[in-house]
Structure 1
Amino acid sequence: MDTMEKETFKTFSNKVLTGTASGIVIGLIPDAILNGIFEALTPYRSIFSSLSAVVGTMQFLTAAMIGVLVANQFKLNAIQSVIVGAATFLGSGAYSVSEAGITLIGIGDLVNIMLTAGFAVYLTRKLNDRLGSMTLILLPIIVGVGAGTVGLLMLPYVSSATSMIGHILNSFTILQPLLMTILIAIAFSILIISPVSTVAIAIAIGISGLGAGAAAIGVTACTAVLVIGSKEVNQKGTTLAILLGAMKMMMPNLVRHPKLLIPVILNAILSSMSVYVFNIQGAPQTAGFGIAGLVGPIQALETGTGLLPVFITELSSVKAHGFNRGMRA
């Protein structure tokens, strides 16, 4: 790689966002689509238990996938891309280390994943071909271990910012129920297309009852806007991916077209009324999913109501307004 394309902060950030969005889809979609089905079928055939474990484990590789795909956006070669992927995983927070060994604990902090991947790419590009014949030996050490360590050092500070968001959201739960549902729905409708994990936030603050229902509705409201908007300008596969849970693939679009938040917020406000009227409830483990993998609807049905009828109503409402600008993936 003798020449490197010069990047501005904007183009560099957009490439990191695009690679991150693709990695999230690849890493999380199999579990979102199949895990609920496999778990339901497990009592009938033991093979479904193994299949559930496989798709569940795949999501732990999300950070590494993001790193590789971010590197691919910068046209790094195969060795460089894999090393960036390794550095991203090492700095992701997707694992914990104790005396008992290393334990996988989730996909990691998405904000930190993006920062680590970006730094690893920057370091790789700076080194370029300067390591010569020692590249195969030194690049994994300098970029893989080095950038991964920097990511780990940043993790507590980045995670504290996520925790701050959680505290703000938690403060909504003490408000009057209708106001609470509106604010939580708006917050989660925005978070689902940001680098912050709605699932991690929901579990961290232990949101439940109407609050969890409002969170799920907020995610669902955003999904409805993105599905209808994407349907007009993207291929069917892209729209289907969004419907199945890949809302975060629209992160780059949100950066380029912040006005996308207008229909998302308006739909979240309108949809949140249904939480209060129909007493839609949920649990911390389901609040951040919306309708992805039918996790939210199943939980809501167990408490006497559901999200799917509301989602269908939302689709009709959004379609009537024709929100589709800036939705091209």
Structure 2
Amino acid sequence: MLKEEQLTFKNYTNKVLAGTASGIVIGLIANAILGGIFKALIPYGAIFETLAMIVSTMQFLTPALIGVLVGMQFKLNPMQSVIIGAAAFLGSGAYAVTDAGIVLVGIGDLVNVMIISGLAVFVTRLLEGKLGSLTLILLPIIVGAGVGTIGILMLPYVSLVTTTIGNGINTFTQLQPLAMAILISVAFSILIISPISTVAIGIAIGISGLGAGAAAVGITACTAILVIGSQRVNQSGTTLAILLGAMKMMMPNLVKHPRIVIPIVVNAVLSGVGAYVFSMHGIPETAGFGIVGLVGPIQAVNMGSELWMVIMAYFVIPFGGAVIVDILFNKVLKIYEHEIFKFVPATN
């Protein structure tokens, strides 16, 4: 039997966030690093098509991985953690029921995954020691199927959060181009370290052209700040993971240290101006990626931007700006210490 641990709402939330952050990294990093490479190598061998399919499919496991790691954060045993992973997946929206059967459609709504993981942990802890010899039979039914069903029923309402944010961002596209580029850049720079999917937002609102380019550049601006800050306090592997696309692993840091958005927003403003000046364009499918897999830069080149302009907009300005912004807010104004970028991995 577990020794019941008294948790405050803050501690409870931090554990859910820590498990979620690690689950996202584990689920998405393989495709972020290797997906584009394997797809490019498909003409050179059938094995690369299989490898591309494998790393892409691994993403669909993200909700389950999050649930398991959230359970481990609360020191639940392996069986309990796996059941919480099942509940998180079932309530995630990562699959759709069609006439042909169950079809995987993405990683689901991360906000819903977090809520269901937290609820599943609560129910599991509540039932601890009360089911006796029937635990193996009843826990999967009550927590896995039961809480998973609650997740599915909640999903349309929780998804309204993403829809509402998307509609708000969509109003920026009606503004003067420079203002639009700056505001979209800032919005996506913050969203990328929140539970909201930037890819889902980009596709949902159909953002394209300069707006999509500014969104991708804004995500890059956030990446640059996190990389510069992370390298001071984290191991090189953590910083590399952020650079390669695992920005959402810093969600707990956003909650614990909200001032982390200050350098991110300032750098996003600079980068948004860069996106406007160098006329970076994109499509809805690339708006939410930034430099992950070089999706944003490659799309800009495909849409007619010169290579040197893409390098300026996606690398020189965001990363150069990140260095300047970090010096300004850390050393000159002393608004934050680099400890706010410290990543605390999920542990058992």
TM class by shorter chain equals over 0.9
Aligned to 1:313: 317
Distance 2:215 2:199 in 1: 10
User: Aligned letter for 1:245?
Assistant: G
How far 1:171 moved relative to its partner? 1.0
Does the alignment pair 1:14 with 2:1? no
Alignment of 1:80-99 (within 5 A): 80-99=80-99
User: How does 1:68-79 map onto structure 2 within 5 Å?
Assistant: 68-79=68-79
What is residue 340 of structure 2 aligned with on the other side? 326
Structure 1 unaligned segments of length 5 or more: list them: none
**Where do 5+ consecutive residues of structure 2 fail to align?**
331-337, 344-348
Shift of 1:4: 1.4
Residue 173 of structure 2 corresponds to which residue in structure 1? 173
Contact 1:282–1:300 (CA under 8 A) maintained in structure 2? yes
Q: Are the equivalent residues in 2 in contact too, given 1:93–1:155 (CA < 8 A)?
A: yes
Cα distance, 1:308 vs. partner?
Answer: 4.1
- Provide the C-alpha distance between the structure 1 equivalents of 2:158 and 2:189, rounded to a whole number of angstroms: 21
Corresponding residue SS for 2:67:
helix
What SS does the aligned partner of 1:97 have? strand
Q: 1:242 to 1:308 in 2, by over 3 A?
A: farther
Distance in 2 (alpha carbons) for counterparts of 1:146 and 1:308? 50
Amino acid at match of 1:75: K
Q: Does the Cα contact within 8 Å between 1:291 and 1:297 map onto a contact in 2? A: yes
Deviates most, 98-107 or 137-146 = 98-107
**Counterpart code for 2:228:** I
Amino acid in structure 2 at the alignment position of 1:309? M
What pairs up with 1:161-310 in 2 under 5 angstroms?
Answer: 161-303=161-303, 304-305=305-306, 307-310=310-313
Q: Does 1:43 align with 2:46?
A: no
Taking only aligned residues, the RMSD between alpha carbons, in angstroms, comes to 1.1
State how many pairs are aligned: 329
Give the TM-score taking structure 2 as reference length: 0.93
1:20-63, Cα deviation, whole Å (9 max, x unpaired): 00000000011111111011100111110000000010000000
| 1:195-215, Cα deviation, whole Å (9 max, x unpaired) | 000001001111110000000
Mapped contact 1:291–1:308 kept (Cα < 8 A): no
1:50-61 equivalent positions in 2, closer than 5 A: 50-61=50-61
Q: Which residue of 2 aligns with 1:126?
A: 126
The AA in structure 2 aligned to 1:20 is: T
2:150 aligns with 150
Measured after TM superposition, the shift of residue 276 of structure 1 is 1.0
C-alpha contact (below 8 Å) 1:166/1:204 kept by paired residues = yes
After TM superposition, give the deviation of residue 312 of structure 1 in Å: 3.3
1:279 touches 1:305 (CA, 8 Å); kept in 2? no
C-alpha separation between the residues in 2 aligned to 1:74 and 1:253? 19
Report the more deviating stretch, 258-267 or 91-100: 91-100
> Distance between the aligned counterparts of 1:134 and 1:159, measured in 2?
35
Indicate conservation of the 8 Å contact 1:92/1:109, yes or no. yes
Query: 1:308 and 1:229 mapped to 2: Cα distance?
Result: 22
Shift of 1:142: 0.4
Amino acid at match of 2:288: G
Conserved? CA contact 2:270–2:321, under 8 Å: no
Residue 305 of structure 1: CA displacement?
4.0
- Structure-1-length-normalised TM-score: 0.98
Distance in structure 2 (CA, Å) of the matches to 1:104 and 1:62? 12
Mapped to 2, the partners of 1:279 and 1:175 lie a distance apart of: 16
